[in-house]
Structure 1
Amino acid sequence: MSTFSGLNTALSGLNAARTGLNTVGQNLTNVNTAGYTRQRVDLAGAGVPARGALNDAGTPVGQGVRVTGVTRFGDTFLDGRVHTAFASAGYASVRADALSGIQDTLGEPGDTGISSQLNGFWGAWQEVHNYPGEAGPSSVLLQKATGLVQSIASGYRALDGQWSRTRDQAAAMVADVNATATAVATLNERIRAAQAAGTPANDLIDQRGTLTEHLADLAGGTARDAPDGTVEVLVGGNALVSGKQANTLKLTGAAGMADGAPVTLEWERHPGVAAGLDGGRLAGALSVLAPAGDGGAIAQTAAAYNALAAKLANAVNGAITANNGVTPGGGPTDFFSLQAGVPAALGLAVVPVGPDGIAAGTGGKDGSVADAVSQLGTGADSPDKLWQGAVMTAGMAIKAGLQQATLAGSVSASAVAAQRSNAGVDLDEENVNLLAFQHAYQAAARVMTAVDEALDTLINQTGRVGR
Structure 2
Amino acid sequence: MGSTFGGLSTAYSGLMAARTGIDVTGQNIVNVTTEGYTRQRVTTSSVEAPTRAGLFSAGVGAGQGVSVDAIARLGNLQLDGQVRAAASASGYQTVRASGLASLEASLNEPKTTGLGAQLDKFWAAWQSLSNNPSEPAAGSVLLGQASTVATTIASGYRAVDDQWTSLRQGVDGLAGQLNSAATQVADLNDRIRTALQAGGSANELIDQRSRLTETIATLAGGTVRENKDGTVDVLVGGNQLVAGTSARSVAVVGEYRLGSATAGVHLEWSHRPGDPIALDGGSIAGSLSLLGPATAAGTGGALAEAAASYDALATQLATQVNAVHSTGNRADGTSGHAFFGQKAGVPAALGLVVLPTSVGEIASAAPGSGALDGGIAGAISQVGTGTGSPDRTWASIVSGIGAAAKTEDDQATLTRLASTAATSRQQSSAGVSLDEENVNLMSYQHAYQGAARVMTAIDEMLDTLINGMGRVGR
Match of 1:316 among 316, 321, 324: 321
- CA 1:301/1:57 → structure 2, altered by over 3 Å: closer, same or farther? closer
The amino acid across from 2:266 in the alignment is T
**1:443 is the counterpart of 2:447:** no
- CA 1:445/1:52 → structure 2, altered by over 3 Å: closer, same or farther? farther
Tell me the equivalent position of 2:310: 305
**1:463 is the counterpart of 2:470:** yes
Tell me the equivalent position of 1:265: 267
Gaps of 5+ in 1: none
User: Equivalences for 1:172-183 in 2 at 5 Å?
Assistant: 172-183=173-184
The amino acid across from 2:92 in the alignment is Y
DSSP 3-state at the match of 1:223: strand
DSSP 3-state at the match of 2:116: helix
Tell me the equivalent position of 2:434: 427
The amino acid across from 2:341 in the alignment is S
CA distance in 2, matches of 1:284, 1:331: 52
CA distance in 2, matches of 1:409, 1:358: 56
DSSP 3-state at the match of 1:266: strand
CA distance in 2, matches of 1:439, 1:460: 31
TM superposition shift of 1:453: 0.5
CA distance in 1, matches of 2:263, 2:354: 31
Asked whether the 8 Å contact 1:78–1:419 carries over to 2, the reply is yes
Tell me the equivalent position of 1:121: 122
Asked whether the 8 Å contact 1:327–1:333 carries over to 2, the reply is no
The amino acid across from 1:211 in the alignment is L
Match of 1:343 among 327, 332, 347: 347
Asked whether the 8 Å contact 2:50–2:60 carries over to 1, the reply is no
CA distance in 2, matches of 1:58, 1:227: 36
- CA 1:370/1:70 → structure 2, altered by over 3 Å: closer, same or farther? same
User: Alpha-carbon deviations, 1:3-46, whole Å to 9, x = none?
Assistant: 11111001001100010000001101111111000000001111
Greater shift in the superposed pair: 103-112 or 160-169: 103-112
Greater shift in the superposed pair: 195-204 or 426-435: 195-204
TM superposition shift of 1:317: 1.0
Tell me the equivalent position of 1:213: 214
- CA 1:385/1:47 → structure 2, altered by over 3 Å: closer, same or farther? same
Asked whether the 8 Å contact 1:359–1:369 carries over to 2, the reply is yes
Tell me the equivalent position of 1:284: 286
User: Alpha-carbon deviations, 1:159-188, whole Å to 9, x = none?
Assistant: 100000000110111111011001101111
CA distance in 1, matches of 2:53, 2:197: 36
Asked whether the 8 Å contact 2:49–2:59 carries over to 1, the reply is no
CA distance in 2, matches of 1:401, 1:384: 26
CA distance in 2, matches of 1:23, 1:229: 21
TM superposition shift of 1:287: 0.3
Match of 1:396 among 384, 393, 403: 403
The amino acid across from 2:321 in the alignment is V
Asked whether the 8 Å contact 2:330–2:360 carries over to 1, the reply is no
CA distance in 2, matches of 1:221, 1:2: 58
Match of 2:357 among 349, 353, 357: 353
Gaps of 5+ in 2: none
DSSP 3-state at the match of 2:273: strand
- CA 1:370/1:57 → structure 2, altered by over 3 Å: closer, same or farther? closer
CA distance in 2, matches of 1:164, 1:213: 28
Tell me the equivalent position of 2:337: 333
TM superposition shift of 1:325: 2.9
DSSP 3-state at the match of 1:466: coil
CA distance in 2, matches of 1:177, 1:337: 47
Asked whether the 8 Å contact 2:328–2:336 carries over to 1, the reply is no
Match of 2:386 among 379, 402, 427: 379
- CA 1:436/1:147 → structure 2, altered by over 3 Å: closer, same or farther? same
TM superposition shift of 1:270: 0.6
The amino acid across from 2:157 in the alignment is Y
- CA 1:58/1:411 → structure 2, altered by over 3 Å: closer, same or farther? closer
CA distance in 2, matches of 1:445, 1:265: 63
User: Alpha-carbon deviations, 1:277-333, whole Å to 9, x = none?
Assistant: 110000000000001115200111111111111111111111112x33324596983
Aligned length: 464
CA distance in 1, matches of 2:331, 2:239: 67
DSSP 3-state at the match of 1:313: helix
User: Alpha-carbon deviations, 1:250-282, whole Å to 9, x = none?
Assistant: 011232110222101111101111111110000
User: Equivalences for 1:73-222 in 2 at 5 Å?
Assistant: 73-222=74-223
- CA 1:48/1:320 → structure 2, altered by over 3 Å: closer, same or farther? same
User: Alpha-carbon deviations, 1:45-88, whole Å to 9, x = none?
Assistant: 111112379xx999611001110111111101100101110000
DSSP 3-state at the match of 1:270: coil
The amino acid across from 1:276 in the alignment is A
CA distance in 1, matches of 2:53, 2:291: 80
DSSP 3-state at the match of 1:271: coil
User: Equivalences for 1:234-245 in 2 at 5 Å?
Assistant: 234-245=235-246
Greater shift in the superposed pair: 351-360 or 455-464: 351-360
**1:38 is the counterpart of 2:39:** yes
Aligned-pair Cα RMSD in Å: 1.7
Greater shift in the superposed pair: 60-69 or 101-110: 101-110
CA distance in 2, matches of 1:59, 1:186: 49
The amino acid across from 1:189 in the alignment is D
CA distance in 2, matches of 1:59, 1:228: 39
The amino acid across from 1:346 in the alignment is L
CA distance in 2, matches of 1:58, 1:315: 103
CA distance in 1, matches of 2:391, 2:385: 8
CA distance in 1, matches of 2:235, 2:287: 19
